[in-house]
Amino acid sequence: MIISKNNPTFKYLNNLKFKKYRNAFNQAIVFGNDIVDIAYKKGLVEKFISTKPKINSIIISDKLFKILSGGNYKNKLGALVRIKNIPLREANSLILEDVQDPRNLGAIIRSAHAFGFFDIYLSKKSVDPYHELSLRSSKGSIFDVSIKVEDVEQSIKYLKEKKYKIYTMSPKEKTNFKSSDKICLVLGNEGHGVLKSTEILTDGVLNIKTENVESLNVSAAAAIAMYKIRGGF
C-alpha cells in the first residue's frame, strides 16, 4: 500500500490532475463506480486505484485517495485510464468555442452522445474534456465521442469542405434548416457566446424561444438544440 505523497507512483497519478501531464502521457484518472465500469468495459483501464486489495490495482491509503479524488467517492474506487483518440465519424457535429466550465462541457458531451452528435471540435481555449469535473459530468460519454482540439476557423473550413451546414444559436433570430443536411452546431463561451468573427462564417442561426429569461445555460441550450435538430418535437 502506498502511504506517502512522495511515492513516485502517487506523484505520477497526482500529476494527471493537470492538463499538461494528461496530454503528455495520454492518460487520465477517473473516479466512481459508474465511469470506472464503463472505462473497464471499453478496455481503457490500465490500473484500478483502490484502498483495498483488488486485481490489477494500485493500492493507496484513505488519505491519499481523498487527495486524488477530492474526497467525493465513498466507494474508494478509481482507475488510471488510457485516453483513446476516436476517429471522426462525419456525424452531426459540435464546435465548442471557449467553453470554460468543465461541468458544462461534460454535460454537453453527454447530450451529444445521446443525440448522435459524435464529432466534437474544441477550440484551443476551451476547458480540457478530461478535467475531473468534465469527466464526472459526462457520465462516461467521453469514451464514445470523437474530440478534436483546433482553431474554430480551421474546424469550420474542414466541415464546409465536407458539405456540412453550420449554425449558431440566438434567442431572437431564426434560420430554417433541412433535417437531411449534415449539421454542425456552434456553441460559444458562457459569458459572451459565439464570437462575431465566427458567426459570420456560419450558414445561419437557430432559435430556442424562451420566456422570462433572455438565454439558457450553454449545456441546456445545447441539449435542446441537438434534440430539435435530430427531429424532436
Mapping DSSP to helix (H, G, I), strand (E, B) and coil, where does residue 230 land?
coil
**Which of 12, 2, 165 has its CA nearest to residue 95?**
165
**Domain limits of the chain?**
8-82, 93-229
Domain 8-82 has CATH 3.30.1330.30: yes
128-138 pLDDT, tens per residue? 999 989 998 99
pTM of the model: 0.90
CATH homologous superfamily for 93-229?
SPOUT methyltransferase, trefoil knot domain (3.40.1280.10)
187-225 pLDDT, tens per residue? 998 888 889 999 999 998 887 777 787 778 899 999 999
Average pLDDT in the chain: 90
**Which of 22, 14, 143, 25 has its CA nearest to residue 78?**
14
Report how far residue 185's alpha carbon sits from residue 68's, in angstroms, rounded to the nearest whole number.
35
Host H or E run for residue 28: strand 27-31
Looking at the DSSP bridge assignments, the partners of residue 93 are 119, 184
Predicted pLDDT of residue 28: 96
Phi and psi at residue 7, to the nearest 5°: -65, 135
Q: How far is CA 12 from the centre of its chain?
A: 23
Q: Cα dist. 32→72, 106, 158 in Å?
A: 9, 15, 37
Q: Output b/e per residue, 186-215; b: 16+ Cβ within 10 A.
A: bbbbeeebbbeebbebbbebbebeeeeeee
Q: Which cell numbers hold the place of 27?
A: 492518460
Whether the predicted pLDDT of 233 surpasses 60:
no
Q: What is the number of other CB atoms lying within 10 angstroms of the CB of residue 76?
A: 15
Q: Which cell numbers hold the place of 179?
A: 433535417
Report how far residue 22's alpha carbon sits from residue 128's, in angstroms, rounded to the nearest whole number.
10
Q: How far is CA 120 from the centre of its chain?
A: 8
Can you list the pairs that 11-18 forms with residues at least 24 positions away whose Cβ atoms lie under 8 Å? 13/49, 13/58, 13/68, 13/80, 14/67, 14/68, 16/80, 17/68, 17/132
Q: Which cell numbers hold the place of 177?
A: 434548416
Predicted pLDDT of residue 209: 77
Predicted pLDDT of residue 134: 95
Whether the predicted pLDDT of 180 surpasses 80:
no
Q: Cα dist. 102→24, 35, 106, 135, 185 in Å?
A: 20, 16, 6, 8, 19
